[in-house]
Structure 1
Amino acid sequence: MIWEIDDGEKQIEGLDATGHPDPGYAASLGLLPAPFGRRTMATLAELLVLALFALPAMLVATPALAEILSGAGDAGAMLADGALVWPIVTLAVGNVLATVFIVVQLVLLGRKGVTAGKAVFGLRTVNVRTLERPGFWRGAVVRYLVLSLSFLLPLLGPLLVVALSPFFDSERRGRSWLDQAGATWMVDVRRGLNPYDVKRMRIARKSVRITEHASGPALPSLATPVERDAPAQYTPSGRLSGGVIGAHRRMSPPQPGAPGAPVAPSAPTATPVAPAAATPFAPAVAPTGMVDAVPPPLVAGQLLDSFAPSPAAPTPPSAAGSDEPAPSPAAAAPAASAAGGVPAVRAVLRLDDGSRVEVRGATLLGRAPAPVAGEGAMQLVAVADDTRSVSKTHLAILPSRRGVLVVDRGSTNGSAVVRDGSDLTLTPGDPVPVQAGDVVRFGDRTLTIERA
């Protein structure tokens, strides 16, 4: 562990090699010198307030003072008669108000760098070296004493000290003789940075102090490549399907046995099931004229069993010497399929990108299709969609005895069947029969039903 001892010396930024304030550093922070016109107007506004405090005393005390000076009245007699009461009261009140105003001005100037005139005209005073508050004694009291001494030369003294002296500044920062005596600098906070805004001032100092490094090499993009077969530049690790960013998947079919290859559905195991009560249902008649016998609503865990082809009765072997002809290979193929061989192709899905998918069993389509718990093995078809209009599990294509059925799996953007120019919007969870030539629209993608 390294211990650092604070020696109490504060490092002042913005000083040159000789210890003098650098005007370029203040300019790089965004500090701008106060303009001449507003400096003068701020001083005149404060003098006007002092004149207003002294006006009542001048109006009341001036006639009494003139009478005493001219010898027309006796001061003692006037005091005994009470003629000098109001002149004395107005003088006292005026002096008290002026004193309070001056003290408040000095405190605000030393601690906040602002006075009444500076607040009105958007000016602030800072210490010229530290660019912080000027301090009470030198930054406020010394300035006030110099300004008071300038009135010994009526009119010309204040004009020279306040208005004309900024033009003689060798650094061209607009510092008057008052600023040079108090080691202060008056800045414009309307157009430039406010030095008393601690947060912005800290950011400005850091931006000047810290050197910007050259930009490094571009990092790999996290976006999924636009081209379907483009190599993935970056694949996030440890991400699930619910993550915001998904790993890029190539559209080319994987080799059998490779990781990620679809698993062929296993042959159904004959399990004795008690016969269920028949559920009556009416044929679904679509507005486009699509009529088919639609089975009852789907139940999780029965998706495959509901639409699996009924097993064919086994053919007894022909006796030796029988005249019955042997079944043809074409007639024996469906029986072999039903007996547990490779499922027959029930339909072909031609996607809008030209790819073709053979429907041999229950098939799910989407950006990242996945069956719900209890549905068993299903054929999964990942559809690339850069616009993300296709849901993760968007459609289900289910074989039936008279063809195939299409079911919307509660997608976000919905699905529809297009036949002869008419659209039939799919209700989520309700199977709809389709036939060869029908177009199924899901999100921004489409597919066409073709015969096997």
Structure 2
Amino acid sequence: MTDLDLVRRPAQVGRRVGAYLIDAAIGMVVLLIAVGVFAGISFGTGGALPLPLAVALAYVIGLGWFVVYTLMQAGAGSLGMRALGLRLVREGGAVDASAPASRLGFGRALGRNLVWALGGAIVVGYFSPLFDSSPWHRGWHDRAVGAVMTDVAGRSPVPAADSRAEAAPPSPPSSLAPTVLPAAPILPEGQAPELGGWSRAEPPAPVRSTPLASGVISFVPGVSDADRLDQPAPAPAPGLPTVEVSDATPPVSGAPAADRGPVSGAGVVIESIDETRISTGERPFARLVWDDGTRQALYGRTLFGRNPAPETGAMVSPVRDETLSLSKTHFEMIPDDDRAVWVVDRHSTNGVAVRRGDDLLPLEPGERTRVRAGDVLVFGDRQVTVEVTS
């Protein structure tokens, strides 16, 4: 698994309870089998093995199972945790739960179980995870040893952009320029161009066969079908008069065909872009690289979420979220006068964390936290890398 697959996600309370019940049932079965075996030996031998000693031996077996259970918790998880896709890791450890820096360790796992047993002796300890209002629901036993329960169920590797490109079948060579521009290249860090424009030119768009009437919006990127613009107009209904209107100046008689206008569409495209482009000269204060390879430039205070509510003086940026793991307004990014970048958790349900190297730092809701170049924001099932411009 990769780091992206094991980005920490809080475990739900219901699944934590289910994992504990599974482990408790297994421990009870082991203890009952041990008691039955040693008690049977005691009765079968006519008291040669005293019954109190038989019960004590059964409890020794139960204690041995407790040690095995603690060792599993310190590593890849107990049987109940594995069955429900949960894993117990250290707070602030590595993102990869299988890494040594992330595992809880036997000492912490043993201390956690002892605190759990002491809290259970007064009953209220069983409900201590409900006292934590954060998405992690850490109980007294978790806080005592610095542990968090994470959800690793259904985490599958996200294919990289290079592998998707290799899997795509090669397109046949064609002398015509494509009607759909190819996707923007994903460049390695340090070679990414400024987002004000691409560094390499794209193939020119084909010349339209019929001039478009000025003053009418006939094409909207991403909405209109570009192929329909080259189709001839439908024939008029029979019985209705038609008028031929030409908005092009008729060519001078006797002029050669080569002098009537440019044949290639490159000149037309460049001229159109030069006429319509509005350049403010403003540089972005940060660039974001999303987990699906998409790049985004930020020019001011921006709200992110599943469906951010508009606010005065802020731009909104909806984030694709098929799993509904994001809040409507999840977090915001703010620049200051020194072009430093700050992030604020807008009291989201699943929270926001900053991954810096091997450390994962949860953010306090409502408080500003400065992010640096290379930091990764982890929120819900999404993550984004911050590239701070200088």
Tell whether the structures are fold-level matches, with TM greater than 0.5. Answer: no
Higher relative contact order (CA 8 A, sep 6+): 2
- In our comparison, the structure showing a higher alpha carbon Rg is 1
Identify the TM-score tier after normalising by the shorter chain. 0.3 to 0.5
Report the TM-score, using the length of structure 1 for normalisation: 0.31
